[in-house]
Amino acid sequence: MMRDLLMGVDIGTHGSKGVLVSTGGQVVSQAFVDHGVDTERVGQFEQDADEVWWGDLKRITKGLAAQRQVDPRSIAGVGISALCPDMLPVDETGQPLRKAILYHDTRAEKERHEQLARLGAATIAEATGQPLHSQCVGPKIAWFRDHEPDLFGRTWKILTASSFLVHKLTGQPVLDYGTACGFGPLFDIRARQWNSRFCRELGLSVDMLPNLCQATQVVGEVSTWAAGETGLAEGTPVIAGTCDTFAGQVGVGVVEPGEAVLIYGSSMDVLLVLGDDLSPPSKLGISVGVVPGTLVSGTTMTTAGSLTRWFRDNFGQIETDVEERLGLNAYHLLSDQAAEVACGSAGLLVFPHFAGAPYWDPLARGCIVGLTPLHSRKHVYRALLEGIAYGLRHNLEAMQSGHLDLKRIVSVGGGTRSRVWTQIVSNVTGRDQEVVAHPSGAAYGDAFLAGYGVGLFRDPAEIRERWVRVTDRVRADAEAKNTYDKYYAAYERLYDGVKETMHALAPLSALD
């Protein structure tokens, strides 16, 4: 049996995708699964690892093979990426002891500040390559230890989504270096190993953490049990896998220093590829790249596509009804209406801090400023798209303040299907974008990384040469940029202007 197919699976925040790809980059089959996030309290986000992550993986792997009656023995390798970094404790059998605490969960702020006080912010940044922010796993482990001691005492390993799934497939508890950077302050970026001193000072055990390796390393094979569960062939090689953002970077051919991927997903992430020099300063931090010999620096807007989804679900009933009756996409209908509104949304500003970022302030909240009786839904929706773009510009400027060289932006994700949104982003930031629509994305990158891991490709740049095709180019409009500069100046003052009020409202806003 010729093994000429590669499988990539990406487990996202609100949905999962899988692809089967030929070695020449042609998508043979693909599968999608939607899922939700458990949000019982403000600032707390969880998912059931068995039901959502493993359940999605099984549905996707079986679906991919069934679509074209693919013989699973023709799959040369499997690559997995997932939302990250998450905190999932498992027992010695690999069974989850509780729901996973997701990356944008902010319940561990007290523990984060305690770790900052104990170790020092500068010391942490020097050792880990990035600041200790609210997405980091270290404080969440401490929260788990202090609030659920019985479960903590039964914990064998702390995993994240990708490492949980790889363990399910192979029995190996592994984590790639790039995702380990999100386990701050526990990872030593220079030594590429867990920081035993930090773990000891924080009362945590290195033995509780997964084994570290490069994302493209083959770490095991699909076990007999996993083959029966997933429909994959026993013995299929599985690489360590990585975070969805890193896989998405590769999936659009961004593999060279100076290139960046902008991902329009539930969050809006930017990932810039660097060389292997750890010295360039960056307020945003540096992580180990999935491409050997590279580092990456990234930013995130944790509410981007999830914010457009919130608007659709709560204020777009007309559009969703039209979609159900006529098949017209609700997001496209909302974008068409936003296109009727001029730059600046007639004096509206949306601060898109609905669930973290661009300011790492767990007490910050989203807000809309400038409403009058003349504004309508279309003004608010456009202002929402613009607010996300302002947050992105804020992050890009922070990236540039670290003297990081950004030469090229390649955009990908569901949001790129809205030309209105991509044009707003280019006009607000003053940056051109090259859009890669399909095939692309994290699952596509996972498939290529699996091929690289099993030796089918010798150079990561082969994905750009053989697999990836730019489908659109969005040029920044200088006149629109001048208009948005005025709005952005007001946006930059907004946080300080409303921070005190947001902090006062935060303890009153619990929905539980």
- The whole-angstrom separation of Cα 443 and Cα 21 is 10
* CA distance readout (Å), 192 to 68, 175, 178: 41, 11, 10
Q: In this predicted structure, what is the pLDDT of residue 491?
A: 95
Q: In this predicted structure, what is the pLDDT of residue 508?
A: 83
Instruction: Find the mean pLDDT for residues 468-486.
Output: 95
Percent of the chain at pLDDT above 70?
A: 97
- Across the chain, mean pLDDT equals 93
CB 44 within 8 A of CB 107: yes
- Whether 5-253+436-466 and 305-435+477-508 share one fold: the answer is yes
Instruction: Find the mean pLDDT for residues 155-167.
Output: 98
Beta strands 408-412; 237-239: pairing state = unpaired
Q: In this predicted structure, what is the pLDDT of residue 212?
A: 98
Instruction: Find the mean pLDDT for residues 267-288.
Output: 81
Report the run of H or E that residue 101 belongs to, with start and end: strand 100-101
CB 441 within 8 A of CB 412: yes
In this prediction, residue 512 has a pLDDT band, given cuts at 50, 70 and 90, of very low
Q: Classify residue 267 by its DSSP letter.
A: S
User: What is the rounded (10 degree) CA torsion for 259, 264, 270, 276?
Assistant: -50
Q: 362 pLDDT exceeds 70?
A: yes
CB 118 within 8 A of CB 204: no
Nearest to 62 by CA among 33, 102, 93, 105: 33
Q: In this predicted structure, what is the pLDDT of residue 433?
A: 97
In this prediction, residue 353 has a pLDDT band, given cuts at 50, 70 and 90, of confident
Phi first, then psi, for residue 443 (nearest 5°) are -65, -40
- The whole-angstrom separation of Cα 121 and Cα 464 is 39
Q: 281 pLDDT exceeds 70?
A: no
CB 276 within 8 A of CB 118: no
The CATH number corresponding to 305-435+477-508 among 1.20.1300.10, 3.40.640.10, 3.40.50.720, 3.30.420.40 equals 3.30.420.40
CB 249 within 8 A of CB 436: no
In this prediction, residue 300 has a pLDDT band, given cuts at 50, 70 and 90, of confident
Q: In this predicted structure, what is the pLDDT of residue 282?
A: 56
More confident residue, 389 or 512: 389
Strands (DSSP E) contained in 166-210 are 174-176, 187-188, 193-194
* CA distance readout (Å), 201 to 196, 221, 224: 9, 36, 41
Q: In this predicted structure, what is the pLDDT of residue 414?
A: 85
Q: Where are the domains of the chain?
A: 5-253+436-466, 305-435+477-508
Runs of H (alpha helix) within 291-376: 305-315, 317-326, 330-338
Give 372-431 pLDDT, tens digit per residue: 999 999 999 999 999 999 999 998 988 877 767 889 999 988 899 999 999 999 999 999
In this prediction, residue 301 has a pLDDT band, given cuts at 50, 70 and 90, of confident
Which letter, b or e, does each residue of 149-179 get, where b requires 16 or more Cβ atoms within 10 Å of its Cβ? eeebeebbbbbbbbbbbbbbbbebbbbbbbb
Instruction: Tell me, rounded to whole angstroms, the distance of Cα 512 from its chain centroid.
Output: 27
| Whole-prediction pTM | 0.82
In this prediction, residue 3 has a pLDDT band, given cuts at 50, 70 and 90, of confident
CATH class of the domain whose range is 5-253+436-466 = alpha beta
